């Protein structure tokens, strides 16, 4: 009892430390007068995705994908602003082209960016795809370029590199595929329920469009697509998946009016090749503004001659 009482008297730390009833505690790495050194376990799991760009996770969503001339079903796992993750039954290679059908209308042109088992990461084509007759599409592009990029008139065609005879056919075919791609992106505003939402056109035709928007819209609602400079189209939302929505125009749209809309943006000529990719990026090549202008003029001259 005397030992216990003496251990409680101030100034007798040695006795207290020797007493088995009052045991010293280990600091466990905690520094004196420093609360930041105290480890605190997370009380709950993360509930948000902090990666760059929103990802819309879906469950049991089936879509159609076209690859190497064959169409098959795929499970749509998630959608983001620039691509999608799908579960497929085939084995694509990096940079293969895949057309993704999210709903009625034209598909989204994609490139395979990664493959892990049966899951495939797709990156959407950057440019706005103009659906319709090739000659009319070329005329629209030429009109847009002449109005917005007048300086391309002075840009001469680059000299063609010398090629071996056995590479000529393959290279010409790749060049034609690249020339069919243009680097222009149209954007606009979508009016719904008295609010304006910025949208990006993935593709557009005379009957409808596929737009990307951070806001989701109920199917069947009526909206107005404003492309700027007085180009306004009334439409109905046909379908909506994640940040992608299909629109059906109330009246047929004259594609030549794209030249009157707000000036489009220009995307880089080539997509960034994944670090692990050794496959030639046949999907990645785009025409430049000047190249598209030259091809469009040539196409117009050919049409007039015929």
Question: Which of the given ranges, 56-60, 68-72, 152-156, 170-174, has the highest pLDDT on average?
Answer: 68-72
Tens digit of each residue's pLDDT (9 = 90 or more) over 270-289: 555 555 444 445 454 555 65
- Domain interval for residue 233: 187-263
Q: How far is CA 56 from the centre of its chain?
A: 12
Q: Say if residue 171 is in the same domain as residue 279.
A: yes
Distance CA 229, CA 209 (A): 18
CA distances from 30 to 16, 22, 25, 27 (A): 22, 20, 11, 5
Residue 175: CA count within 13 A, CB half-sphere? 11
In a domain, 31, yes or no: no
In a domain, 118, yes or no: yes
In a domain, 46, yes or no: no
In a domain, 223, yes or no: yes
Q: Say if residue 72 is in the same domain as residue 195.
A: no
pTM of the model: 0.64
Q: Say if residue 235 is in the same domain as residue 252.
A: yes
- Share the mean pLDDT of the chain: 75
In this prediction, residue 146 carries a pLDDT of 85
Q: The domain spanning residue 224 has which CATH number?
A: 2.40.10.220
Q: Say if residue 245 is in the same domain as residue 213.
A: yes
Bridge partners of 122, per DSSP, are 84, 112
In a domain, 116, yes or no: yes
In a domain, 147, yes or no: yes
Q: Say if residue 102 is in the same domain as residue 137.
A: no
303, pLDDT greater than 80 = no
Q: Say if residue 79 is in the same domain as residue 208.
A: no
Tens digit of each residue's pLDDT (9 = 90 or more) over 215-260: 999 999 999 999 999 999 999 999 998 889 999 999 999 999 999 9
Tens digit of each residue's pLDDT (9 = 90 or more) over 184-225: 999 999 999 999 999 999 999 999 999 999 999 999 999 999
In a domain, 14, yes or no: no
In a domain, 60, yes or no: yes
Q: Say if residue 114 is in the same domain as residue 237.
A: no
In this prediction, residue 228 carries a pLDDT of 93
Q: Say if residue 195 is in the same domain as residue 178.
A: no
Number of independent structural domains in the chain: 3
Q: Say if residue 92 is in the same domain as residue 223.
A: no
Q: Say if residue 212 is in the same domain as residue 115.
A: no
Quickly list DSSP for 9-37. Answer: STT-HHHHHH-TTS-----TTPPTT-GGG
């Amino acid at each position: 009892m005397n030992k216990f009482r003496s251990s409680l008297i101030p100034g007798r730390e040695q006795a207290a430390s020797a007493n088995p009833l009052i045991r010293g505690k280990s600091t466990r790495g905690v520094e004196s007068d420093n609360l930041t050194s105290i480890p605190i376990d997370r009380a709950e799991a993360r509930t948000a995705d902090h990666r760059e760009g929103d990802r819309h996770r879906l469950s049991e969503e089936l879509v159609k994908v076209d690859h190497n001339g064959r169409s098959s079903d795929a499970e749509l796992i998630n959608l983001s602003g620039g691509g999608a993750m799908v579960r497929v039954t085939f084995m694509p290679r990096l940079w293969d082209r895949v057309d993704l059908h999210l709903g009625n209308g034209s598909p989204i042109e994609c490139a395979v960016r990664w493959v892990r088992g049966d899951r495939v990461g797709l990156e959407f084509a950057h440019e706005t795809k103009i659906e319709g007759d090739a000659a009319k599409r070329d005329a629209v592009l030429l009109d847009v370029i002449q109005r917005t990029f007048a300086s391309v008139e002075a840009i001469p065609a680059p000299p063609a590199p010398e090629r071996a005879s056995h590479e000529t056919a393959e290279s010409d075919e790749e060049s034609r595929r690249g020339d069919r791609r243009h680097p222009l992106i149209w954007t606009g505003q979508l009016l719904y329920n008295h609010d304006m939402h910025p949208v990006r056109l993935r593709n557009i035709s005379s009957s409808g469009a596929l737009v990307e928007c951070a806001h989701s819209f109920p199917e069947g609602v009526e909206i107005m697509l404003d492309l700027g400079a007085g180009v306004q189209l009334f439409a109905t939302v046909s379908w909506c998946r994640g940040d992608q929505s299909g629109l059906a125009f109330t009246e047929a749209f004259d594609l030549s009016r794209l030249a009157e809309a707000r000036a489009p943006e220009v995307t880089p000529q080539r997509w960034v090749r994944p670090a692990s990719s050794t496959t030639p990026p046949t999907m990645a090549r785009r025409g430049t503004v000047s190249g598209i202008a030259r091809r469009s003029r040539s196409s117009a001259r050919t049409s007039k001659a015929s």
